[in-house]
Amino acid sequence: MKLYNVAIAGATGAVGEEMRAVLEQRNFPVGNLKLLASARSAGKRFSYKGAEIAVEELTKDSFKDVDIALFSAGGSISREFAPAAVEAGAIVVDNSSAFRMDPDVPLIVPEVNPEDIKKHKGIIANPNCTTTIMLVALKPLYDYSRVKRIVVSTYQSASGAGAKGMDELLNQAKAFAAGQPINVEFFAYQLLFNLIPHIDVFQDNGYTKEEMKMVNETRKIMGDAEIQVSPTCVRVSAIRAHSEAINVETEKKITPEKARELFAAAPGLQVIDDPANKQYPMPLFASGQDDCFVGRIREDLSCENGLNFWVVGDQIRKGAALNAVQIAEELVKAEVGLRKSPLIG
């Protein structure tokens, strides 16, 4: 069995820790695992398959003999260190926004466009979490009948803002329960018992950067520059897993019955759609799960070829860590650009 040396850059963050867990859970063929983070995190120890691994400081010399480098440390870190990893012979799977719209960097959701992995020149980008969750559900519909237009409203949990966002929401809940003042430091407003229609910075067109990611990334991944996307992204007080209310207009009609059939046959997607018995996807049940879940499937009453549905997915797993590891799995399967002589176990 071939084994591959893997590095995780940003190994102590919420997504980095999840990447380590996913590698172990999916029994990825790891020869040597290197955990990389900032100097202040160096020396921390984490368990992997019964062994303790010490975190090393991330430097440009960290990637000697690394075959696959999973990056989850932010755009500025990726821009600084990813080229060094490629220069050292590694293939980078980057979770930040740094390279997503670079025409030379494939943007991959393995259930949607795995064939584009072959186009890589050393770096492969992971899409934004909201885009990934939406496209896992959109792909089977698009393959049946081209999707012309998408109107999507997202309900994004605190986990989308990382460990600090989750900690702030939990601390606000504890303070409320104890009758203490609720502190607001990380989010613009109190998130507990609230929602905030503002994720990332506003652009000149009135949309946020988060919303424009959904527009631009969807077109790139689907290979369809004409697809129309109208997004609204909202932060809600769920702790983990994002939800999306999606309306699509297709070239030919897709009935709810046909949509359920298409969804049920699609990889990475489970149908929970029995509203009469109060069965529908929710963050409470999607947290920690690999698949995305789709329900509330119904005809759009205002549009002849319109369809409404509701999708929930774990932002840390499928929206980030799992998608990155799945990309690595596709690389191993095809050996696209990997070293010619990986370690043999």
Residue 248 resides in a domain: yes
CATH number for 169: 3.30.360.10
Collect all residues with Cβ–Cβ distance below 8 Å to 64 and sequence separation of at least 6.
88
Q: Is residue 83 part of a domain?
A: yes
Residue 188 sits in the same domain as residue 277: yes
Q: Which of 190, 211, 194 is nearest to 202 (CA)?
A: 211
Claim to verify: residue 262 and residue 149 sit in the same structural domain: yes
* Predicted structure pTM score: 0.94
**176 in the Ramachandran plot: left (φ > 0), alpha (ψ -120 to 50) or beta?**
alpha
Residues 93 and 173 in one domain: no
Number of domains, the chain: 2
Active site residue 198: no
d(CA 298, CA 262): 14
Catalytic residue among 120, 129, 233, 292: 129
**Helix locations, 196-291, DSSP H:** 209-222, 256-265, 283-286
Do the bridges between strand 306-313 and strand 45-48 make them parallel or antiparallel, or are there none, so unpaired?
Answer: unpaired
Examine the domain organization and report whether 136 and 230 are in the same domain.
yes
CATH of the domain at 81: 3.40.50.720
Which residue range is the domain that position 53 belongs to? 2-98+320-344
Query: Is the Cβ–Cβ distance between 196 and 235 less than 8 Å?
Result: yes
Is there a catalytic annotation at residue 233? Answer: no
Tens-digit pLDDT string for the chain (345 aa): 799 999 999 999 999 999 999 999 999 999 999 999 999 999 999 999 999 999 999 999 999 999 999 999 999 999 999 999 999 999 999 999 999 999 999 999 999 999 999 999 999 999 999 999 999 999 999 999 999 999 999 999 999 998 899 999 999 999 999 999 999 999 999 999 999 999 999 999 999 999 999 999 999 999 999 999 999 999 999 999 999 999 999 999 999 999 999 999 999 999 999 999 999 999 999 999 999 999 999 999 999 999 999 999 999 999 999 999 999 999 999 876 676 433 333
The SS3 assignment for 328 reads helix
Q: Select which of 120, 233, 242, 292 is catalytic.
A: 242
111 lies in some domain: no
